[in-house]
Structure formats: C-alpha cells, structure tokens
C-alpha cells in the first residue's frame, strides 16, 4: 500500500517561498506608496509656487491704475495741465534683510486722487524665516515691516530660499508731442517728458520643509499695463 502526500521538508519549503513572495510584494507596495506620496508632495509644492506667482503677476499688472485716466487724456488733448499720477511708480526696498517690491493702484469707486493705505500692495521675502509674504495695506509705497502682511505660501510646506526681482524699463521721449515748445530742453530739469514701459521679472526658489533635497524654482515675467509718464515739456 502506497502513502501519498507532502513531506514536512516540502511543506516548509513551500511556506518559506510563500513568505518570500509575500515580503517582496509588500516591499513593492510600500515603495509605490512612498513614491506616490513623494510625487503628490512635489505636485503640491509646484502648485503652491505657481499659485503664488500667478497672484503676484495678476496684481502687478494693475500697478499705476488710476480711475480718471480718461479725463487726464482729454485734458492733455485740450492743452491743459495734467496732474501727475499719484499711483505711479514701483519701489524696491530692503528692510532688515528682506527683499521687497511695492506698488499701488486705485480701488476707488469715484477717483479721489489720494493713495490710501489699502491701495498699496507688494511682496517681501524674509530669508531668515524662509517666508514669502503679500502686503494687504501699507503706509508708503516702499514696503515696511509695520505694514499688514499675509503669507503667500504655506510655511509648513515650503521654505522660500530665494527671491529675485528685476525691473526692466523702456523709455520713449514725448518731446515731439510738446507742440511749439518741442525745439529743445536747453538743460531744463525733468525735460523732455518720457513714457516709461515697465516689465517685472521674478524668480522664486523654494524647498520642502520636510526634505531639503526637494527643490523647485519658478520664473515669471509680466508687462505692466499702465505706463508711467515723467518729465515736462520745455518752458
């Protein structure tokens, strides 16, 4: 009579093989989960930076807006004096090691020609804290620590390691529009009048708070829609 079945050694080998296969499969699953988490965090970092850059660019495009711009154009066409734009200008400032940029634009329903605190905006980078902040209001065009600031990116997620701000200006003489006085300035201060087209280029670098090896860099460039006019016609 023959006995059929599995020997103890064969059973132990089968169990060992099953454990090895299970451990390999578990290791693969854990590795995939870790990779998925890493990719999700990298995507979140990129989205966080891109959202901050988009907000900065959209707001910078409004710099120099005034509610009575059309009236100023009509006054110039009639030969009348045009008051300077109180919202004009961009101010780069360094205060206590912070890289900053300030701008202003009108938020008035009816233009009053006065720059209020809630009409001044900007951004600053605090290198010691690794923070990128947005100004909600300010007492002057140049940003200051006493102004009202709000974080642009999640400080628990990102440490901003660099912020580069480049201002590019194109100047075009308006002397030909001065009419009979367009002969020359003769050394007159502030002459001739110029139209200044401005462009801002930003570069933001950041890294993951949990893993310093995860770094990301984002560059953005925008043309400001409201040109600035400086200078006067010859006397």
b or e along 172-193 (b: 16 or more beta carbons within 10 Å of the residue's beta carbon)?
eebbeebeeeeeebeeeeebbb
- What mean pLDDT, rounded, does the chain reach? 83
Residue 192's nearest CA partner among 233, 156, 142 is 233
**Helix or strand or coil: residue 97?**
coil
Q: Which residues contact 134 (CB under 8 A, 6 or more apart)?
A: 55, 56, 121, 122, 123, 149, 150, 151, 152
Task: Please report which confidence band the pLDDT of residue 139 belongs to, taking 50, 70 and 90 as the band edges.
Answer: confident
With a pLDDT cut of 90, the percent of the chain lying above it is 26
pLDDT of residue 23: 83
pLDDT digits (tens, 9 = 90+) for 81-115: 667 888 888 887 755 445 889 999 999 888 888 89
pLDDT of residue 6: 63
Q: Alpha-carbon distance 32 to 27, whole Å?
A: 9
Residue 215's nearest CA partner among 8, 76, 46, 32 is 46
Q: Alpha-carbon distance 77 to 22, whole Å?
A: 84
- 20: tokens are 């090895």
- H/E stretch holding 49 reads helix 8-60
b or e along 52-69 (b: 16 or more beta carbons within 10 Å of the residue's beta carbon)?
bbeebeebbbbbbbbbbe
**Best-predicted range by mean pLDDT (1-10, 15-24, 117-126, 174-183):** 117-126
Q: Alpha-carbon distance 85 to 87, whole Å?
A: 5
* Tokens 């990128």 found at: 132
Task: Please report which confidence band the pLDDT of residue 184 belongs to, taking 50, 70 and 90 as the band edges.
Answer: confident
> What mean pLDDT do residues 167-195 have?
78
pLDDT digits (tens, 9 = 90+) for 41-92: 888 888 888 999 999 999 999 999 988 877 766 665 555 666 788 888 888 7
Between the two ends of the chain, the Cα-to-Cα distance in Å is 128
pLDDT of residue 181: 56
Kind of pairing between the strands at 194-208 and 215-223: antiparallel
Q: Alpha-carbon distance 226 to 40, whole Å?
A: 39
Domain boundaries, the chain: 40-230
Residue 63's nearest CA partner among 195, 227, 201 is 227
Measure Cα distances from 131 to 5, 59, 161, 175, 179 in Å. 70, 19, 8, 45, 51
Q: How many CA atoms lie within 13 A of 61 on its CB side?
A: 9
pTM, entire model: 0.76
């Amino acid at each position: 009579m023959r006995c059929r079945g599995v020997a103890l050694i064969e059973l132990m080998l089968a169990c060992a093989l099953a454990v090895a296969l299970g451990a390999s499969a578990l290791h693969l699953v854990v590795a995939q989960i870790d990779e998925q988490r890493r990719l999700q965090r990298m995507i979140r970092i990129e989205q966080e930076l891109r959202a901050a850059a988009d907000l900065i660019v959209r707001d910078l495009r409004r710099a120099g807006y005034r509610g009575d711009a059309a009236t100023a154009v009509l006054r110039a066409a009639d030969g009348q004096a045009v008051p300077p734009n109180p919202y004009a200008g961009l101010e780069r400032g360094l205060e206590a090691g912070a890289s900053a940029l300030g701008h202003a634009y009108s938020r008035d329903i009816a233009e009053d020609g006065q720059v209020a605190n809630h009409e001044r905006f900007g951004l600053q980078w605090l290198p010691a804290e690794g923070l990128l902040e947005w100004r909600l209001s300010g007492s002057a065009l140049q940003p200051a620590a006493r102004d009202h600031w709000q974080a642009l990116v999640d400080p628990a997620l990102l440490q901003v390691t660099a912020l580069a701000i480049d201002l590019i200006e194109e100047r075009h003489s308006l002397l030909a529009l001065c009419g009979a006085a367009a002969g020359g300035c003769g050394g007159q201060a502030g002459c001739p009048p110029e139209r200044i087209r401005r462009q801002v280029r930003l570069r933001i670098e950041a890294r993951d708070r949990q893993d310093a090896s995860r770094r990301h860099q984002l560059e953005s460039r925008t043309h400001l829609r409201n040109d600035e006019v400086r200078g006067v016609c010859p006397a």
